[in-house]
Amino acid sequence: MPTTPSTWRLDAPATTLIFDLSRGVAELAYLGPGLPPEQNASVLCGALQRGAHESEPDERIPPSILPCIEAGYAGSPAVEIARAGHQLALRAESVGVEGDDAAVTFHLVDPALTLSVESRWSARHSGVIEVSQRVNFEGEDPVQLLRCASLVLPLPRWATHVTQFSGRWAAEMHATRSEISRSARLHGETQGGTPGFSGGQWLLFESADSTEHYGLSLAVHLAWSGDHTWTLRVDPDGRAVLSIGARIRPGEIVLSRHHPFVAPSAVIAVSSSGRAALRQTLHRHVLDERLPQAFSRAPRKVHLNTWEACGFALSLPKLKSLAEQAAELGIERFILDDGWFSGRRNDRSSLGDWNPSVDVFPEGLESLIRHVESLAMDFGLWIEPEMVSPDSALYRAHPDWCLAVEGLPRATQRHQLVLDLTRADVTDHLYNVIDQLLRRYSIAALKWDHNRELFPIPSGSIGQTQALYRLLDRLRETHPKVEIETCASGGGRVDYALLSRCTRFWASDNNDPIERLRINRSWLQFLPLRILGHHVGPSPNPITGRMLSMDFRAKTAMFGHMGVEADPSTMSEDDRQTLSAHIALYKEWRDVIHHGSVYELCSSDEGAAGWFVVQMNRGLALITQSLFAQHFEAEPIRLHGLEPYQRYCVRLLTPWPEHPARYLNSPQVWREGVRMTGAALAYSGISLPRRLPGTAWLIAVEAE
Ligand code: DGJ
């Protein structure tokens, strides 16, 4: 191994990392906005050093990228191992570093244990840093891995505030921002076998003064679809260290010569100009570096999903008529949700028996697909392959195929059990069943659902998650044109690892736009509008009971991958026309919505929310009001992201919200367009009536 340099510098667009290697370990000395090439890395590291104090080990051990308790580190160790129930002392020495401008790998070894760790940090073109760890073991006698953090990150000292997320079914990603106190001990963990609704694997750190357009911010994400664990601890000397990784249960990972452990990767992004720039970096990463590239540019078709339109009450005549009405509205893809197979007339049976129901489709599923295609739409199908109903032919044939602990009752959730994907016979069976469906029927898209937690997990969820990835990869290789949407009772399993296999995520079962504005706001910090499934649901909303106009429901659903999840035959003629007009607007603007830079609209009125998406010389804004406004004269909406000296034509896109439009000053001018410069739009803004809850406006901005 060549001699180790004393520092290592890694640059991604607008971001720099400097590692201090002078003390025999790799210490992340700087993570932040891009530094000029002239900045000497050793001088920077030296400027950050402090003298020793009385109450610490004589040989002071910094929180390196692989901190070890045995070396005197008092926080959470990065790696913990045990043999025969006894934890083994681990003391990794840095033995080398190799890399180039795009990536660096640190090699750390514990010679006594014959254990080594490779920690790779890569700078992606999007501006994110991706970190991955691999643990190798060379000994004769295997050891158990108890913990392996994907990332141990000493937070930059400007990161004084953290935003964490919490949630439940139909109320995902509730953001809470708090100050990181001197004695902070924050911890998050999941145990349901998926990231869950609370989004614990998404974290946001900011300087105290950070806003949408100003301040320092840092995002951290664990790209993993199983259980995770993270801790944030401020040590007595004031340094906050974050540790995040997959949750490993005792005995779950056994390291041996031929079985290393590759931890899921963690993603970091930094911004020096607020949350907008951070969001845009993460969106670029997902669009250019995560999603299956075959789908990253094609226009996203408008969906009709049968779930909130029909539930389980399916019949061929009903579905055909639904398809006809969908086509009249301008819908481009018809997704047949739950209830199409075997004896599934409610949620108590048949998961696992993936044959079209002869009651619903006496002439076969082809008859519906042909009808859908004759209406110029393509066809998508719902499946929930990882599950099995106890009342199913599959379960009767293979009762041993599900997760279970011998001697304990098989507890169900939504009346279903979970298949053990770590068994090759199970995943081979699932591959064959889905492969056959995709070969036999003309299916453009799958909605891949997952509606219960994994319990009991006798051998942990890591193997289950890895097997899911292999199954999806195998199917994608055979059927590269089929789009896959990830859904877990809504947004219960959304992460960057799954999104390298799926092209859409179902953000929430809650289609109430007022709830969705909040839920989507959190998702949007990390994920682009292009893949965020957002549907126009019925009114009153089946989950919240809230009644909202079609105008409001349709305008908000345009900001995402738009769909409809309601029965048009139950809508008034006016509502159908309003919906179809918004579907046409979505098609006209989807390239901007899906590929532009997303800015959140800021207002001091807590009932106001919205976004402005800008692509080159065009932009579209959505401004919504969910609570009764504090003032009649609403705060002007200021649109950032435009060229300051460029003149733009600003129009309010029709249809307009009926009641608020009466308060519009000079409606004709807004219809034809107002001319304003980018600077005036950013600093002065435009004033629109939005006093009533349930008001939404679409503002189109085009360079002249
Ligand atoms: C839960 C999903 O989130 C819904 O959209 C729907 O597909 C149901 N499952 C069907 O059972």
Query: Each residue of 389-448: pLDDT tens digit?
Result: 999 999 999 999 999 999 999 999 999 999 999 999 999 999 999 999 999 999 999 999
Choose one of 487, 519, 565 to mutate for the ligand 1 pocket test, by most ligand atoms within 8 angstroms of C-beta: 487
CA of 637 to the centre of ligand 1 (A): 36
Distance 312 CA to ligand 1 centre (A): 11
pLDDT band with cut points at 50, 70 and 90 for residue 1: very low
Task: Average the pLDDT over 670-698 and give the result.
Answer: 95
Q: Hey, what are 274's tokens? A: 């607020």
Best residue among 306, 387, 506, 511 to mutate for probing ligand 1, ranked by most atoms within 8 Å of CB: 506
pLDDT at 67: 83
Is the per-residue pLDDT at 373 higher than 60? yes
Ligand 1 in reach of 506 Cβ (< 6 A): yes
143-192 pLDDT per residue, tens? 999 999 999 999 999 999 999 999 999 999 999 999 999 888 899 999 89
pLDDT at 36 over 70: yes
Which own/partner pairs from 26-31 qualify as long-range (CB within 8 Å, at least 24 positions apart)? 26/64, 26/65, 26/66, 26/94, 26/97, 26/106, 26/108, 26/119, 27/62, 27/63, 27/64, 27/65, 27/154, 28/64, 28/65, 28/153, 28/154, 30/156, 31/129, 31/153, 31/156, 31/218, 31/268, 31/270
Q: Look at the chain and count its residues.
A: 704
Residue with tokens 């109430």: 512
Task: Please tell me if the CB atom of residue 8 comes closer than 6 angstroms to any atom of ligand 1.
Answer: no
pLDDT tens for 329-349 read 999 999 999 999 999 999 999
Q: Residue 599: enclosing H or E segment and its boundaries?
A: strand 597-600
Residue 489 CA to ligand 1 center (angstroms) comes to 6
Burial category of 381 from C-beta neighbours within 10 Å (exposed 0-12, middle 13-18, buried 19 and up): buried
Which residue has its alpha carbon closest to ligand 1 atom 3? 489
pTM: 0.97
Using the mean position of ligand 1's atoms as its centre, give its distance from the Cα of residue 425 in Å. Answer: 27
d(CA 240, CA 185): 9
193 has a pLDDT exceeding 50 = yes
Residue nearest to atom 11 of ligand 1 (CA): 338
Give the integer Cα–Cα distance in Å for 49 and 224: 35
**193/172 Cα distance (integer angstroms):** 17
Would the pLDDT of 213 be above 80? yes
Per-residue confidence at 569, pLDDT binned at 50, 70, 90?
Answer: very high
Q: What is the pLDDT of residues 251-287, one digit of tens each?
A: 999 999 999 999 999 999 999 999 999 999 999 999 9
Given ligand 1 and candidates 168, 194, 337, 452, which is best to mutate, with the most ligand atoms within 8 Å of its CB?
337
Residue 76: predicted pLDDT? 78
Mean pLDDT of 230-256: 93
- 630 band by pLDDT with thresholds 50, 70 and 90: confident
Give the ligand 1 atom nearest the CA of 509: 3
Average pLDDT over residues 8-22: 96
Rounded CA-CA distance 256/269 in Å is 34
Number of C-beta neighbours around residue 610 at 10 A: 25
Whether the per-residue pLDDT at 458 is higher than 70: the answer is: yes
Grouping H, G, I as helix, E, B as strand and the rest as coil, residue 90 is coil
Q: Which residue CA neighbors atom 2 of ligand 1 most closely?
A: 489
In this prediction, residues 199-209 reach a mean pLDDT of: 94
Sign of CA dihedral 589, 591, 594, 598: negative
- Establish whether residue 449 lines the binding site of ligand 1, counting it when its CB lies within 6 angstroms of any ligand atom: yes
379 lines ligand 1 (CB under 6 A): no
* Structure confidence at residue 606 (pLDDT): 87
DSSP three-state, residue 327: helix
Ligand 1 pocket, mutate which of 382, 504, 564 (most atoms under 8 A from CB): 382
- Residue 451 near ligand 1, beta carbon < 6 Å: yes
Of all residues in the chain, the percent with pLDDT exceeding 70 is 99
The residue-averaged pLDDT of 90-109 equals 90
The mean pLDDT value for 658-677 works out to: 94
Residue nearest to ligand 1 atom 1, measured at CA: 489
- CA 643 to ligand 1 centroid distance, Å: 43
At 299-310, the pLDDT tens digits run 999 999 999 999
- Residue nearest ligand 1's atom 9 by CA: 489
Task: Determine if ligand 1 sits within 6 Å of the CB of residue 338.
Answer: yes
**CA-CA distance, 532 to 50, in Å (whole number)?**
46
Report the share of the chain in percent with pLDDT over 90: 86
Q: Is the pLDDT of residue 380 over 50?
A: yes
* Residue 353 beta carbon below 6 angstroms from any ligand 1 atom: no
Instruction: Please tell me the predicted confidence (pLDDT) of residue 168.
Output: 96
Q: Whose CA is nearest to atom 6 of ligand 1?
A: 307
pLDDT averaged over the chain? 95
Q: State residue 99's pLDDT score.
A: 96
pLDDT band of 455, cuts 50, 70, 90: confident
Active-site residue numbers?
449, 509
Cα 305 to middle of ligand 1, angstroms: 10
3-class SS at 113? coil
Which residue shows structure tokens 């004033």? Answer: 687
Q: What is the mean pLDDT of residues 73-96?
A: 86
